[in-house]
Structure formats: C-alpha cells, structure tokens
Amino acid sequence: MIHEFSPCDPESFPRLGRYRVRFSWLRCAASLMAFCAILVSLSPAARADSLQALVQRADRILRGKSSAAVVHMDVKTHGYQRSYKMVIWERDDSTRERTLVKILGPTSWRGYSTLKIGNQLKFYDPKTNHVQAVGNSMLGDSWMGSHFSNDDLVKETRLAVDYTPSLISKRVAKNELGQSATFYRIRLTPKPTAPVVWGRIEFEVWQHDDLVVPVRCDYFTKVGDKNPVRIMRFYGVKEMDGRWVPSEMQITVASKPGEYTRLTYDKLRFDVDIPASKFTEQAMR
C-alpha cells in the first residue's frame, strides 16, 4: 500500500514515521560502510605499505637517479685518526647500481679509488697502477681503515626492497629544525631470499609534511638480540641542491667504544648527467 501525504495536512504527519526510520537506517548503513572502509585502509597490509613508503623515502634521501658529492670522512680508532676528502659519483640504472669513489686527499692517499658495479667491487692503487677485484677473503676487511667493511659496500641494500617493515612506536616531537614532526621507529625484518647479513634493523625516521628524514639505524646480528652491534646516526639537516637532507652521518661499533667513522657532505648534487664511462677501470685511473 502506498501512503500519500500532504505537507498541508497535519493528519498525514504521523504516517512519515516509518519513512523517517527507514531513512535513518539507510543513513546509518552508509555511515557503517564508510567506517568499514576506514578500517580497511588501516588494515595491516595498508599500514605496511605506508611504512614501506616511509622507509624507501628516508633510505633514498641522499640518492637520486644519479648524484655527485664531495665528502669528508673522519675515522677515529684507538690506534689512529685519519681524515679523507673524496668525491663520490652514483648512478642507479634499472639493471644495476654504479658507484665510483675517488680520494682527493690527503696527499698520501690521493688517487686511490673504489668502483662498485652491482655486486662487484674493485680497488685502484695509484702507487702500483694496479686494479684489484675484491675476493671473498677480502670482504671482511676494513674499507680505507674506516668502520665500513668491503662487505658493506658490496652488499649495500635497499631497505624497502630487502626488508619487511613493522611499526615499533610512533610519537610527535620537535625535529632537528624545531618543527613538530611525527617520529616513527620501524622494525625491519629481512625477507627470506634477501642477500643481507643483518638479522634485524631498527630504523627511526621523522616526517614533517612531505619531508621524511632518517634519524638512526640500529643493526642487530640476530633477530632476537637485545643490543645492536653498530649504530648509524644522521644529523646536520640542511638544504643541499634544493632538498633538505642530513649532511652528516656517524657510525659507531658496540665492540669498539670511543671509535667512530663520520661522513660529512660538503657538496651534493642530484640527478646530474653522469656518463657510463665514469664507471670504468679507466675512470678509476
């Protein structure tokens, strides 16, 4: 039966009750569907994608499709203290990553260079004019006397590719620039087939508007270890070539208290045109 009513007939008003109820029910159903959509957007898979995007943006902050940088590396150990000036060219092709590092100073080290193409690593010694490929027996050796090993350079990873992220904590605090930022501490668990040596990494980043900056990276040998074996810290955030980036990084090793290796970016340019000929043995010389 179809009920008709007239807005001018007071007697017809009560008949609207069922339609008001029906309309209210439909409105509640729509609200429930919207709420469910929000829940889906906050599902573990969606959160993982968001965390992975944060990790990728923070991990690539000092990289572009290509980059060129002038960097100081200070190394302090109990036996010696060294300072190097070097130039670094990087190019990330679709097939492989290419990196060339040439030492500019001090004079006694000038001309030494390191070339990485994919997982291949080579050294050039200007005193002997000899290029040497790094074998398995040399992977554990220190690179240029620093706290980085040759294995670190060979197995340089993309965190967002080789690890699965999960959120440890989230807080709002002032960042290094005095801005209110959201700080994320993220656990990175290696994927089963990833060619990595760390059982777990804990990565801290902050986000302010569209900017995501790394703060600290803790490396654990085993997934269940309580204390990291080494820590990488990022600081000195400033604008370089139109981007806000951390201009300094320092690595410390738990078994060597008081020692460190610090990298300071003096100059940095992104997306520069670097020819493939730059990443050859001839260019090393």
Map out the domains of the chain as residue ranges: 10-41, 52-284
Along the 285 residues of the chain, how does pLDDT read in single tens digits? 444 434 344 444 344 444 444 434 444 444 444 434 433 333 444 455 599 999 999 988 988 789 999 999 999 999 999 999 999 999 987 667 899 999 999 999 999 999 998 888 999 999 999 999 988 778 778 999 999 888 788 766 678 888 999 999 999 999 999 999 999 999 999 999 888 889 999 999 999 999 999 999 999 999 999 999 999 999 999 999 999 999 999 999 999 999 999 999 999 999 999 998 999 999 999
Tell me the residue ranges of DSSP E strands in the chain: 66-76, 81-92, 97-105, 113-117, 120-125, 130-133, 163-174, 180-190, 200-208, 211-220, 230-240, 243-253, 260-270
The closest alpha carbon to 210, from 66, 58, 38, belongs to 58
List C-alpha distances in Å: 200 to 122, 123, 219, 224, 285: 28, 30, 6, 8, 38
Whole-angstrom distance, CA of residue 246 vs CA of residue 38: 35
Q: Which two tokens stand for residue 192?
A: 């089963």
Q: What are the residue ranges of helices labelled H in the chain? A: 17-41, 44-59, 150-154, 159-162, 281-284
- Residues in a beta bridge with 91: 66, 98
Q: Is the peptide bond before 106 cis (omega within 30 degrees of 0)?
A: yes
Supply the CATH classification number for the domain 52-284: 2.50.20.10
Whole-angstrom distance, CA of residue 226 vs CA of residue 36: 38
Whole-angstrom distance, CA of residue 276 vs CA of residue 132: 20
Whole-angstrom distance, CA of residue 7 vs CA of residue 258: 85
